Amino acid sequence: MQALPAPTFDDVLDAAARLEGVAHRTPVLTSSTFDERTGASVFFKCENFQRMGAFKFRGAYNAISHFDAEQRKAGVLTYSSGNHAQAIALSARLAGIHATIVMPHDAPEAKVAATKGYGGEVISYDRYKENREEIGRRLAEERGMTLIPPYDHPHVIAGQGTAVKELIDETGPLDMLFVPLGGGGLISGSALSAAALSPACTVIGIEPEAGNDGQQSLARGEIVHIDAPRTIADGAASTHLGHYTFAVIRQRVARIETVSDTQLIDTMRFFAQRMKIVVEPTGCLAAAAVLNGIVPVNGKRVGVVVSGGNVDLPKLAQYLA
């Protein structure tokens, strides 16, 4: 297949039109306690309320909506630690096509069950020993299916960008935008929207301390690969940025910072106790950075992407205890 051109803000607008009436327009919440603690005016874009519980529905649905008749007939294939799997499974069901998903053996039970529940065929692998990209490529070839990777795809990036488009449409210009960072699909799309709608906004990526490949990549000017990190932020446990995502990040992301698992747990607790919302560890990355003063935000208008809310309930109880 021919390589697609790099994504632009026009692609985000096209994705927004395709998602209209299909994806939820998620709420933007505020918290006076959070504002008092940080000295900023913070707007949370709550993608934990998105269909299947995370922003990933946006990119997956957008990508599948571009399939031609032949691609629809063979179906879609992907690999994912969870939320992208559910997003592909649900989007495929809505499009009436078959989905095969390669998932790590230790993916959260809630995510595996939800993926199967949406009708996806799950194939599991050992993420410490096997390469999911190789397995994915081989299966796609054998079965003639179209591979939609979790982040490094222009249609995925454009779809993810619609969340921050909605955010800024609602709040007006922002000084700073904090975005959880895994492979970079979410932040790439977010940065395209921020550059178009709030050009003076500083975009900052936040990744888990245990896996700061994005931070290293930005510093070195090339994609840095790391071993699979052990972190509770399973949605951001990626080992490297993608080619499409790194190109956008280099151009439009000002800095990348990290937070610890303990800081993520404290932030989950804040969300549950103060804002009455369930946010998964990965969904807390951006908020944790602001709450812990990793980057000063005093006096600023700040956007925070709350990226998802899919967490096993027994684990949640453990974290909150």
Ligand X SMILES: *Cc1c(COP(=O)(O)O)cnc(C)c1O
What is the DSSP pairing of strand 176-180 with strand 146-147?
unpaired
- Asked whether the beta carbons of 50 and 122 are under 8 A apart, the reply is no
Q: Which of 140, 163, 181, 289 binds ligand X (CB under 6 A)?
A: 181
Q: Which residue in the set 15, 42, 54, 264 belongs to the binding site for ligand X (CB under 6 A)?
A: 54
Contact 30, 43 (CB under 8 A): yes
91/307 with CB nearer ligand X: 307
Of the candidates 6, 157, 70, the one whose C-alpha atom is nearest the C-alpha of residue 148 is 157
Contact with ligand X (CB under 6 A) among 136, 149, 159, 182: 182
Shortest separation between residue 120's beta carbon and ligand X, angstroms: 16
Task: For strands 202-208 and 146-147, give the pairing.
Answer: unpaired
Contacting residue, 50, 115, 193, 307, with ligand X by CB under 6 A: 307
Angle at 285 between CA 10 and CA 111, to 5 degrees: 85
CB of 299 to ligand X, least distance (A): 28
Q: One of 65, 80, 81, 238 is an active-site residue; which one?
A: 81
Q: Which is nearer to ligand X, 200 or 219 (CB)?
A: 219
Total of residues contacting ligand X (CB under 6 A): 21
Cβ 105 to ligand X, closest distance in Å? 18
Stretch that binds ligand X, among 2-10, 183-191, 256-264, 290-298 (CB under 6 A): 183-191
Token pair, residue 96, equals 């009436």
Which stretch in 61-69, 193-201, 231-239, 268-276 sits in contact with ligand X by CB under 6 A?
A: 231-239
Which segments within 215-300 are labelled E, that is strand? 255-259
> Which residues inside 122-151 make contact with ligand X, applying CB under 6 A?
150-151
Integer distance in angstroms from the first to the last C-alpha of the chain?
A: 50
Q: Give the range of 99-107, 133-141, 181-189, 248-256 binding ligand X by CB under 6 A.
A: 181-189
The least distance separating ligand X from the CB of residue 83, rounded to whole angstroms, comes to 3
Is 217 catalytic? The answer is no
- Count of other CB atoms within 10 angstroms of residue 125: 17
Q: What is the dihedral of CA 232, 238, 244, 250, to 10 degrees?
A: 70
Position among 12, 191, 201, 236 found at the interface with ligand X (CB under 6 A): 236
Query: Applying CB under 6 A, does 183 fall inside the site for ligand X?
Result: yes
Question: How far out from the chain centre does Cα 296 lie?
Answer: 24
- List the interface residues with ligand X, window 8-27 (CB under 6 A): none
18 residue type, one letter = R
Q: In terms of CB distance, is 32 or 85 closer to ligand X?
A: 85
Choose which of 18, 51, 56, 111 interacts with ligand X (CB under 6 A): 56
- Residue 81 annotated to the active site: yes
Structure tokens at 315: 């684990």
CB atoms within 10 A of CB 28: 18
Question: Which long-range contacts link 64-67 to residues 24+ away (Cβ below 8 Å)?
Answer: 64/88, 64/91, 64/92, 64/95, 64/97, 64/148, 65/18, 65/95, 66/155, 67/95, 67/97, 67/146
Site for ligand X in 247-306 (CB under 6 A): 280, 282-283
Q: Give me 290's structure tokens.
A: 């602001």
Among 180, 208, 211, 303, binds ligand X (CB under 6 A): 180
Residues annotated as catalytic (active site), given as ranges: 56, 81
Interacting residues toward ligand X by CB under 6 A: 54, 56, 83, 150-151, 180-187, 235-236, 238, 280, 282-283, 307-308
